[in-house]
Amino acid sequence: MRFICDHMLGSLARWLRLLGFDVLYPGPIPDREIVEIAIEEGRVILTRDKELSSTVKAQALYVESDDLEEQLTFTMKELELKVTEPMSRCSLCNARIEKVDKSSAEGEVPGGVYDRQEEFWFCPNCNKYYWQGSHWDRITRTIEKLVKS
């Protein structure tokens, strides 16, 4: 399942990407453009705009809460989503990330990180490197919690 989030759901878009879902987040654009993209690309609209969710000709889900954890839980349950490819997409641009040799990260990540970590992933679209730092544990705990619920 592929998604497009309206500009009020940027954090949800990033977290769904971390869970492995293909999520567009175009920022503040007119509702009609969101609908056009959703229809053209077969995406489900995720929105905090009740009017948008009820008047479109595309599949849409109204996300009422402004709490990120509640948004994630609601979206996962309502759409019966299963996490199958966590940590496979760039949280910033939505591109697929690739595991790379440690040597390719040398000089691209902080020295201490390079010394402590053995595995790195790279986004070929925005040139961001990822590694299993302290944030990884928090993400993993959130994923485990969502999978259990």
Q: Output the pLDDT for position 109.
A: 96
Q: What is the pLDDT of residue 58?
A: 85
Q: What is the spatial distance between Cα 25 and Cα 41, in angstroms, rounded to a whole number? A: 13
Tell me the per-residue pLDDT of 6-30, one tens digit each, with 9 for 90 and over. Answer: 999 999 999 999 999 999 999 899 9
Q: Note whether 69 and 102 are same-domain residues.
A: no
* 13 and 63 inside one domain: yes
Q: Is residue 84 part of a domain?
A: no
Question: What pLDDT, on a 0 to 100 scale, did the predictor assign at position 137?
Answer: 82
pLDDT score of 145? 78
What's the whole-model pTM score? 0.89
Q: Give the pLDDT score at 149.
A: 64
Q: How far apart are CA 121 and CA 124, in angstroms?
A: 10
CATH of the domain at 27: 3.40.50
Residue 146 belongs to a domain? no
Do 6 and 60 sit in the same domain of this protein? yes
| Residue 35 falls inside a structural domain | yes
**119-130 per-position pLDDT tens digit:** 999 999 999 999
Given a contact cutoff of 8 angstroms between Cβ atoms, the answer to whether 4 and 26 are in contact is yes
DSSP string across the chain: -EEEE-TT-HHHHHHHHHTT-EEE---S--HHHHHHHHHHHT-EEEES-HHHHHH-SS-EEE-----HHHHHHHHHHHTT----STT-B-TTT-PBPEEE-HHHHTTTS-HHHHHH-S-EEE-TTT--EE---HHHHHHHHHHHHHHH-
- Domain span including residue 53: 2-78
Domain count for the chain: 2
| 41 found inside a domain | yes
d(CA 108, CA 52): 42
Same domain, 73 and 16: yes
Q: Flag whether 149 is in a domain.
A: no
Within-domain flag for 145: no
Considering the domain architecture, whether residues 62 and 11 belong to the same structural domain is answered as yes
Q: Does 10 lie in the same domain as 72?
A: yes
Whether 88 is covered by a domain: the verdict is: no
Clarify whether residues 55 and 19 are in a common domain: yes
- Please give the chain's pLDDT, 149 residues, in tens: 999 999 999 999 999 999 999 999 998 999 999 999 999 999 999 999 999 998 778 899 999 999 999 999 999 999 999 988 988 999 999 999 999 999 999 999 999 999 999 999 999 999 999 999 888 888 888 878 776 76
